[in-house]
Every structure is written in structure tokens, then in C-alpha cells.
Amino acid sequence: MTFERVPLDCFPETFSTAIELSSVALGGSIISVSDEFFAEAFHLLLVEPPPSLKGQFGPKGALYSGWESRRHNPTYDWCILKLGTTGSIFGFDVDTTHFNGNEAPQVSVQALYLPDGSLAPQSDDPRWSEILPRVDLGPSSRHLFKINPTTGVNYVKLNMYPDGGIARFRVYGLVAPVFPADASKQFDLAHVFSGGRVVFTSDQHFGVGSNLIIPGRGMSLILPVCGKDMGDGWETKRSRKSGHKDWAIIKLGDAGHLSHVVIDTAHFKGNFPESCELHALTSDELVPQDAPEDRWSVILPRTKLGPHREHSFQLENVDDVTFTHVRITIYPDGGIKRIRVFGRRTGTAATLTDTAVEENVGVNSPQPAVAPSVSSGPATGPGLLALPLTAEAFAPFGQVVQAYDDVNAVPAPRTTRVTDANQGTAKKFHKLAPIAASYPPGTGATAGLSVYRCQPTKIHPGGRVPVTVLERHPYTNQAFIPMGSSEELRDPASRYLVVVAKNGGDDRPDMKSLRAFVASAGQGIVYNTGVWHQPMTVLDKPMDLTCVETQIGNGDKSDCEILELDGSAGHYNSEKAGEAREGPIDPNLMNDLDCNFDLASPLEGHLLALPATTHPDPNSGIEIVNQLLLPHTTEFIEINTIEQAHDAIKSMKIRGAPAIASLAALAVASDLSRALQADPAPDFLSSPQALESHVSRHLAFLYTARPTAVNLGAATRRLTRTLQASVAAGKDARAIAYDLIAEGREIDAEDVSRNKQMSKWGGEWLLERVKASGQPGTGLNVMTVCNTGSLATSGYGTALGLITYLHETGVLNRAYFTQSTPYHQGSRLTAFELQTLGIPSTMLCDSMVGSLFQHNQIHAIAVGADRIARNGDTANKVGTYNAAVLAARHKIPFVVVAPISTVDLDIADGSAIPIEHRPPLEACLVRGALYPASVGAQGVKEQATVMVTPEGRDSEGVYNPSFDVTPAELITAIVTEKGVATKSDGATAFDLSSVV
């Protein structure tokens, strides 16, 4: 096979428009590796360049950010990775930076394609095909190779001869795009999985433009709600000249009719762009950078942006026009996390569902679309989608009144004043909207408050809401503020529809400016004076709204002018796909028009559960979600001391073995970060010995918070090893502190990729087992115990991660979960996560498991673990053993999903696992929101703790263990990030050597 070495300075023209198919940002992952004794292979796929760890040593030797195997391999070492998506490969970057004297002398690369649902390939799979022959490498340098484009592949095997180290391995190529089978479906045409590419950026000083179109909203410490920082967005350098602007050009995955755009500024708070605009054109060129300006059509005029949020904007000038490229321009500079360009295909780009491509890449069946799709009719006429309400999108029509968790995320943060109020128990957001009136003198108009009790409007088939009336208030603005529940209205609506239009030149509504938004019950709106709007339209349930306005009160048109739309000239529909548009349309006949707005959310499927901890600033403290108050109240608790971290773990404010290990590690890192910045420095930084004593005492204290959780012990032991190695290396106290800080953050960050990997291992194993039994590999029902999702880990989850994986791959029918008393982690936390993720689910009492198994087909039980003994005996939330016994009776596979750190090889079996017993009182109490709901003065649902046992029972006669131990003989499989372990035939214990 031919190949070409590419000089490093030729990288831009060779690979700048390519996609890094192997990147973890796209979902690339390490599947298996022959040896990673000195440095783990997951480093190969990291986005950031390899840092120097010179002078740092661990138990096995010098530390490197890369993959390094043992010495003296008589053959070669190998690493198998799965690409983030199927694609055609045409190049590689094999980076040996910082490996000097221990670099890999030679490498070769093989590849193959396997359909989704297939078991991962082994190293000796005969289907591997060499795509890069054995090539020489040098020390501490990047090696670029270009090859002829391959057919579509999704697995790559990197061979290293004979052994050594590689820092990063990047696979470049083009995505095999995945489109909805229904051509009328709307989806993100710019998404990398749709074949989108960022082909030009004017500047990418701090963050590369290709980040704009990658999946999700970023990688989080605990859950990818919107990522942990701005590191994986597009960010330009500061401009110093008046009139400056930066821009990026995106080639869409296929030509299409565009509808709306989502611009995400997640984590860009002090550096978000002041405004942006969008242009589009049709071009056969890959990079139409030199196209005349008059060929670019404005599809979003210059519009202000806000910090740290998703902005949804309906596009203009897009009706019946096909575009291939979109240019986003930001003023004057700054950063954007993602851009999503929604529309429907009109082109003929090859897809994985095209026969020609199926033959080319070996696809056996059509692939599902990756990006969530939105149903809509043809993109003609005024915009019809009801988009999420934001202050920036609503600005042409009025103001949005709401509070913000992050005071740095308010609209116009330079001018919006936020202060503490109510003796420090509240934040006050000052004057988010004015009260304005311009009635002529002598009219007698006065300001006042009114209350509207609105009944829900009828939602027609296809999610359509007809608009038959528009009104305006010529001399006053008008505010509507949702009021929440009351004695008479116990279960109010959670959303309402807002439809607005500007006034036209003929003093009628300008239907081209018509916009629709969905507002939440936590958002109030203020219509500017003279803005046309639909009367208040609440959805699903009744809602009370307070109206703030000025009026005469005699029914005069000076107070309210109403325009009825009778629809006699035809109907203008915004329907779901497949519903026809009827009647002739004349935009100038707005007086004779019915409008229907599709309430399908363009962001459906993007909602994720809350993170267990946040640590946005390396030098700041930590915030955790108080899980005792979920799901009714979301309270963040600051963790600024080791004592506070211990209390949070001990009191169950944070729980889940991986999550508490992350908190402990971050607490140590945060404590040392503050110490390094203190002036004067604390005494424990005076010498390595003083620091060792200080840190060792804290680690021992943290371990006592939950001794059963082996992850916590593993984290404290790992930090202890780092501490001892740094002391032994002769480093000074400050250098040792920096080593511990880095190690603490690494403990936290590693968990997300591990969870995704073992969820995939477990999901694929279960699917294969179901198929082997003669059942179809779809419609799976899986039960879980307690909470093992993002709230219990650093992201994605363990057992709940397996369920999420099955849901994401389209084979899950329903998740079942137990309440998990007495703390109700299931009914509070798992229910919250499954509901937020949109996974169909059913809750059951702990005592109903047997009944469930008798009357329903359950394909597997998936649970997490707090500690796994050497023989496979597993300690987990009390109630797990009960479920395992019943599963064995009904011959249902019982699967434990837990990271390697949970396995305690020092314990032979479960009899040696210490079981924590909680205070008796905890089993006698139940806490939750009042029912019927009652909202307090701060707008928060009121909660209460009640005793469910007779008085006096709380002091004695209560058996309340936190955990029980499930014997290995009842466990079918144990899944770690290394793979799936099963027992040999007739065995009652596991050999965990293959997965540890």
C-alpha cells in the first residue's frame, strides 16, 4: 500500500478540513490493548497535546501522557480502537512527543468495518486489512502520513514494533454521513455525524473551529450537561481594533433547506461574542472563502448573544432556497461552544442508507440518524417552529424575566446588576424589564396588577396550535409572570406558548417577523409597547399569570387592539413531517390567515440530568448537588474544606462509590490549590515532611466517611502513592502539592470514559446473549437497583449507563427500577435521571421484584457495586441480594457493572467486606415534597420529613444496613472497563484476571 510522509508545516493544507475520526470528542474509544504497563492507552485519543511530565515518577517508573508498554517484546504490541463514527480514512498523526529513548521505533495500521451490534474485533481477527505499512518513527516528534482514502471503517488497530511509547494517535478522514430515512425530517445538517465540516476559520487562537460541530455540549466532570469548561469550543483571540470580526465557514453534510439554528455559548461567560450573524450560499467548492460577498445570503441578521446558554433562532430568507455552506460571523471576537443548523435535505450526498455505500463499507442494514430530528413541513413562508425562549431571541419583541443559577450568565452581564438580598438568602436581579406607558395626558390610565387564570389551549394533531387572534397594546408594555401552584390550582402548567410579530408598514402585523417561543413556568415575559402578540396561551394544564400593565380600563382600543384572523384566504400550517400544506399563501393577507405552530422541540433528546459535582475553575472550590433534596429541589452546596467533603459523603448528600471518590480527590486538590495561593503560605508547605503529614491525615479522615466504598479507598491509596513517590523523588513541598493536585483531577476525569466503555461492553454482551437464546435483539427490558447514573459517578453511569447505552442504540424497551428504601435513591434519583433522559421507565417497590419477574419478561438485572471481592462476591445497596436471589429463581441474567477500582483483590470473598450500618432513625423517616404541592416564598417546592414508625422505634429495634453482599454464584457477569467476565461452566466463583 502506498503512503506519503507529510511535513509538519504542510498539515493545514493536508488535514485542516479533515475530521479526526478517532477523537474522544466524537466518541472514539480504546477497545483492547496488548500491554499498557507504563502508561495507559486511553491517552492516545485525548484532545489536548501531550504535556511534559518530566521528573515525575509513579510506582512503575517515569510518568508519560501516552501509551507505553513493557520492554523486550519479542513480537509487537497493539492497541485496538473504535472510531467515533464510521468514515473513510486518509491520514494519521503518530505523535511521540516527550518519548525520547523509549519511543516506538515503528508502527503499522490496520482497519476494518463491523456493523453496529457486532462484538468488537480481536487482535487476530482475519478481517483486519493493512492501510499503513510498517513505517519508522523518531523520538519526541509528530509523524504525519497520508494514504489513499479507504472504504468506510469503524475499527483501527495500531501496531507498535516491538514496544515503547506513543503520546497521541490521531486518525483523519471523512465521516460516512448518517441521515434520517425520511427526507422531510429536519436534523442538524452541520453536525459532524451528518458529514458537516468546518472548512475555514479566520482565527482559532484558543479553540479550534472544528469543535463547533462535534457531538454534545462538551465533556463534564460528572455529567455532560454542558461540559466542564470552554476548552472544546471555538474561541478567537482578543481583538484590539474597532470593527473587528471573526468567522467560520461550515460545509453542510448535504445541500438543504434551512429552518433554524442553535448557537451555544456554554461556559463562555466573560468571553462570549457580543453578537453574531449568519450567511449561507450554494457552492460546489469545498472552501468558498473567495466567493463574492453578494453570493452570501443573510439568514440571521446581526443578533446579540448572551453568556453560557443555548440560543435558538429562526432563520430568515431561507424559504425554498437550497444552501450548501453556512458562515457564522462573531463580533468582535470571543468563543462559541457549538452551532446546530437544522433543516432538511435536498441534495443527494451518499449516506449509510444508500445501496452504493452499503456495498462499499459492508453495511448490512440502514443506520439510525445520530442527531435528534425535528418534524416540520416544507421550509416555506414565515418560521413556524416554537423555539425555546431566551432573552436574546426575544429581544426584538420585549424582555424575558427570570432568575439565573449563575450570576455570570445573566443577559448583558456588564450592565445587569445582581446583589444579595433578604439577609443573604436570595439573589436579586435588578430591573430586568422596565414598566413603560405613553398614554396621552388626561386619559386616566393607571398601572396595576391583574391575574389571568388561563385554561390550556387545544393542541391539534401534529403538535399544532392554531393562532386566530393577535393583539397589541399601543400605549403600554405588558408583563406576564407565572404564579405557580395555589390552594385552588395545585398542579399548574409548566410551559406556555408565546407568539409575537412586529408592526408592519401598513400598521398591521408583519407576518414575516412572526416568531413563536415556548416559555417555562420559571420565565416571565414583557411585551414591548405596540408589539403584536397572541393572547396568553398555556399548554397542557391551567396556569395563573400575574399581568403588570397600565390601562384606562374601559375597553377602548387605546388599551388593547384585537385583530381576528379568519383564515378565509387559506391556511398556513407548520406541521410535522408528512402532513400537507394546504391553500394558497399570500404573506400580505395577514388579516385572513390562520397560523399553526409545531410544538415539537428542536432540542428534544438533549436534556440530561444534573451533575453530582461541578469544579469549573481549577483554583476554586467545589459545588455538589445535594442529593438528599432531589428531585424536587436542586440545591448546590459549596465544598471548601476537607471536613465539608467528609460530611457530604457521610450524610449522603453525595453518594455512589465513583462520585464520592471523585469528591474526595477533588477536595484534596482544592485544599492544596488554595494553600499554594495563600499569602503567607500555611506551615504544612514548609517542608515535604510537613506536607506528607498534612495530606496523609486528610486522606485517612476522608476514608472514614464511607469505608465500604472501595473506590474511595482506591482514590485515597492512589493519592498516597503519588505523595510517597514525590517525596521519595526529593521534590520540594510545592512541587509535591502540584503532583497531588494533578493526580486528584485525573482521578475524577478518568471516570467518564471508563463508564462509557463498560456500558458499551455490558450492552453488547447482553445483546449477544439475548440473540443467542433465539430472541430478537430489540425490545429489551432491564431492571436496576438504587442509583448508578450520572449522579453517582463522574458521568454517564455504571449500571444505569448500560441501560442508557441500550436506549441510545435503540434496543431498550423499558427500564425498571426499585425505590431503594430507606433513602429512596431509586424513586428520587434514578427516576429523575431516567425521566430527564427520556428513557421509558417503571418504578416498583423493593418488595415487588418477585411479582415483576412473574408477570413481565425481564431480560437482565444490571446493578452497580461498592466493593467486589476477589471471587466476585459483590457488596451493593441493600436489596441487591434479594433481587439476585429472585433473578436466579427466574433464570434472569444478573450483571454487575463497576470499574476496576471497585474490585478489592485483597479480600478473598464477601465475608470480609465491612458492612456499614446506618443510624436507626434513618429507616423511620421519609422526606419529600408536600402533596398537594406547596410553593414557598422563594418559589421552591416545600418539603418535609415525616416519621412513619411509632415513636421510640427510632432508638432501637431497627435493622438498617447500607449494603448487602450478593454471592458470586448468583451473578452472571461482571463488567469493568476491561471487558466482561463470566464464570466457567460449573464454577461458583469468578476469575477476574481478564477484567482487572
What residues are labeled active site? 866
Grid coordinates 452581564 are at which residue? Answer: 413
Cell of 542: 391551567
Residue 131 belongs to what H/E stretch?
Answer: strand 129-136
Residue 968 burial by Cβ neighbours in a 10 Å radius (0-12, 13-18, 19+): buried
Instruction: Provide the 10 A C-beta neighbour count for residue 645.
Output: 27
Contact between 534 and 480 (Cβ < 8 Å) = no
- CA dist 840 and 816 (Å) reads 9
Secondary-structure breakdown of the chain: helix, strand, coil percentages, each rounded to the nearest 5:
20, 30, 50
Cell of 224: 455532560
DSSP character for 827?
Answer: I
Cell of 104: 516506538
Q: What are phi and psi of 715, to 5 degrees?
A: -65, -45
Alpha-carbon distance values, 982 to 765, 780, 894, 991 (Å): 11, 21, 11, 8
Region of 66 on the Ramachandran plot (φ > 0 left; ψ -120 to 50 alpha; else beta): left
- Can you list the alpha helix ranges (DSSP code H) found in 729-798? 733-772
- CA dist 168 and 104 (Å) reads 12
DSSP character for 103?
Answer: B
What's the one-letter identity of residue 877?
Answer: K
Q: What are phi and psi of 815, to 5 degrees?
A: -100, 140
Contact between 726 and 55 (Cβ < 8 Å) = no
Judge if the upstream peptide bond of residue 273 is cis by omega within 30 degrees of 0: no
CA proximity to 660, closest of 357, 930, 864, 959: 864
Please compute Rg for the chain using Cα positions: 30
Output the DSSP codes for 485-543: --SS-SS--SEEEEEEE-B-TTSSB-GGG-EEEEEETT-EEEEPTT-EEPPPEE-SS-E
* 189 SS3 class: coil
| Sequence-ordered list of residues with C-beta below 8 angstroms from that of 679, at least 6 positions apart, any chain | none
N- to C-terminal Cα distance for the chain?
38
Residue 457 belongs to what H/E stretch?
Answer: none
Grid coordinates 514525590 are at which residue? Answer: 726
Contact between 22 and 170 (Cβ < 8 Å) = yes
What's the one-letter identity of residue 356?
Answer: A
Query: b/e for 65-86, b at 16 or more Cβ within 10 A?
Result: bbbbbeeeeeebbbbbbbbbbb
Output the DSSP codes for 62-83: E--SSEEPPS--SS-EEEEEEE
CA proximity to 876, closest of 965, 976, 969: 965
- Which residues face 173 on adjacent strands? 19, 89
User: Can you list the pairs that 119-123 forms with residues at least 24 positions away whose Cβ atoms lie under 8 Å?
Assistant: 119/764, 119/768, 120/31, 120/32, 120/80, 120/82, 120/155, 120/764, 121/31, 121/80, 121/155, 121/157, 122/32, 123/32, 123/34, 123/78, 123/80, 123/157
